[in-house]
Chain A
Amino acid sequence: MKLSRMRFAGIWIWGAAGLIGQTSREAYRQDYDAWREVHANLERDAGSGGATLIPQVDRAAARVAAFGTNRAAYAKAAAQTAAQQRQALQATTTRPSANLAPATLSDLVKSDLQTVTKTITRFADDKDRGIQQLRQSLERERDALGALNDSIEARQKAVAATTAAASALEQVRVRAAETIGAETSALSQNSVQLEKETAAWAAYYEGLAKAIQIANAPPPRVEVTTVVPRNDSAPGVPRARYVGAWTYPVSNGIYHGAQPEFVDVVVHETNGHADGTLFARFKLSGGATDPLVRFDFQGDFAAAPLQRFPLMTSEGTGGTIELIPGPAFNLLEVNFVTDPRQGKINVGNFILVKK
């Protein structure tokens, strides 16, 4: 279980590294294809396959993690972009002020036009040369006022048309903002949903790997009709998978929790009875002040792959140790838990290599 977590921690790191520069749809679809290719027929093979399937499960888990992470990141970025672009709909649209085309303007011009027209009429029959000159001048002024009046009316119509167009626009803008606003919040939920799926896939592959490992164990004996000698091996799992000297690899060690600097485990077996010692030093983290862990353990081998024995530390603290055969013959997973003590490391989980 804990080993699987280690595996998945690595997978997530791998997946996150793969995320850099890959937030396009094409990129995550490539991830999808790669995942399906690696996954192949895992479910079918899980019925009959053994530990050799585990690396394939790991690869598929890594691929789906990369795919899920990239896709969720893409969905999140797309939702953020959409929200930003849709902000344009939130602001009231611009319309020019209608107050700048007052009716008084037109009134003033019309009044002047009337005055000038009346004056022209008054001088209509006057033959005096000077008066005729004045009348011509007034006629030019009247024409100018008439043209001005026409242009004022034309602008007033244009202002009214702009006002109407701006009102129609604003109505549609409000409607569009309402419609699209609801979709913006829905869009932001997509990445949340995808993250859930990614986590579910991680749990699935973890469960699949666990099930395949358990499936490797032979079915427990239902009946024992003969006296079993104490030195019989646990059925299906040779004692050699536990017995011997084991060490933590110098490089690329796999662990969960406290990081070992070195670990030495020795397991002996006598007539189905195990006894052993563990000596380890860890990198200090959290509240631990003592990097060393040393304890002895003993107990009878069980007829199951997982062996659990009580332990006793050099300081007299109790606890348990689990020995689990690894995916390869020379690998052994170790879990230990001791009663908590101030400054002491009381939990460890790592994979050892046979010396």
Chain B
Amino acid sequence: MKRVAWLSLFLCSTSLAQTPDLTALEQTAQKRNAEWEAQAKSLEERLARILPCDARSSAAITEVKGLSEARLAALSDYIRAVSAKAFAETAAAKALLSAEERRAIEASRERADAGQEQTAVDIQSDSLLQSINQRSSLQDAQKLLEQIGALIRQRSAESQRQADAAEKTIPILRDLVAKFEARDLALQNESAAFEAERTRWSGYYSARQARAQTECSITQIGAAPQPAKSAPKGKAKQ
């Protein structure tokens, strides 16, 4: 049982050690976002100044779409790393709760042990008092036994206090684990929402590209002149 707890702690620590640098990932994600945003904001304005069949029109949309995908990939890396670190924290918290529950049981056993030892010393002390009536040289030993009794009483009181404290700590840790799990669930939801949004962005740029193609096909304005053999019907318009 102890080994399992240590193994889980080890795995958690290993996992934490392998977690990429979140700050660096966040900075990358912000950089990619800024790069995309700069181009995305001006996309419609730039497209309005390009003829529908101008190759630059499709290229502009493709470029912004590429920047969008790079942004979303960086964001995905960041969210994945945050989740890994968060889940490792939760595993460590669960291991701690489990260990503290065992410690609480241990504390109550300690309390019982101290009580048993106290009783044994009291019996010894009574017997020694009887023996002192026969041999007074045992008086010093009696004093030492009384000191031991005092030490055990002190420990017994501390065991009681620690057992009580452990009883109070467990609900706090259970609440903590519940909060860790709630945070993780929220993170999972956020991750799922992000993936859904990622798909929507892809769908939007496809629709935008399709509209640009429709604009070109219905106007045929701005297309580069075709070589004679590849444009036999001469559909290109001025």
> Is A204 part of the binding interface, using a Cβ–Cβ cutoff of 8 Å?
yes
CA separation between A180 and B168, bound complex, in Å?
10
Q: Which of A6-14, A165-173, A248-256, A269-277 contacts B (4 or more CB under 8 A)?
A: A165-173
Whether B193 contacts A154 by the Cβ 8 Å rule is yes
**Given A36-B120, A44-B127, A134-B218 in contact, is the A151-B169 Cβ separation under 8 Å?**
no
Q: Which of A190-198, A222-230, A236-244, A336-344 contacts B (4 or more CB under 8 A)?
A: A190-198
Residues of A within 8 A of B30 (CB): 99-100
CA separation between A172 and B135, bound complex, in Å?
62
**Given A25-B109, A183-B166, A203-B144 in contact, is the A46-B135 Cβ separation under 8 Å?**
yes
Residues of B within 8 A of A147 (CB): 200, 203-204
How many A-B residue pairs lie within 8 Å, measured between CB atoms?
253
What are 11 A-B contacts with C-beta separation under 8 Å?
A93-B89, A94-B86, A137-B214, A140-B207, A151-B199, A158-B186, A164-B186, A172-B172, A179-B168, A183-B162, A203-B144
Enumerate chain A interface residues (CB-CB to B < 8 A): 25, 29, 32, 36, 39, 41-48, 78, 81-82, 84-86, 88-89, 91, 93-97, 99-100, 102, 104-105, 108-109, 112, 115, 130-131, 133-134, 136-138, 140-141, 143-145, 147-148, 150-152, 154-155, 157-159, 161-162, 164-166, 168-169, 172-173, 175-176, 179-180, 183, 186-187, 189-190, 193-194, 196-197, 200-201, 203-204, 207-208, 210-212, 214-215
Enumerate chain B interface residues (CB-CB to A < 8 A): 5, 9, 12, 22, 26, 29-30, 33, 37, 40-41, 44, 75, 78-79, 82, 85-86, 89, 92-93, 95-96, 99-100, 103, 106, 109, 113, 117, 120, 124-125, 127-128, 130-135, 137-141, 144-145, 147-148, 151-152, 154-155, 158, 161-162, 165-166, 168-169, 172-173, 175-176, 179-180, 182-183, 185-187, 189-190, 192-194, 196-197, 199-201, 203-204, 206-208, 210-211, 214-215, 217-219
Apart from A130-B218, A172-B176, A211-B138, 19 more pairs, CB < 8 Å: A25-B109, A46-B138, A94-B82, A96-B82, A108-B37, A133-B218, A141-B208, A144-B200, A147-B203, A147-B204, A150-B200, A162-B183, A162-B187, A165-B182, A168-B182, A173-B179, A193-B158, A197-B148, A208-B138
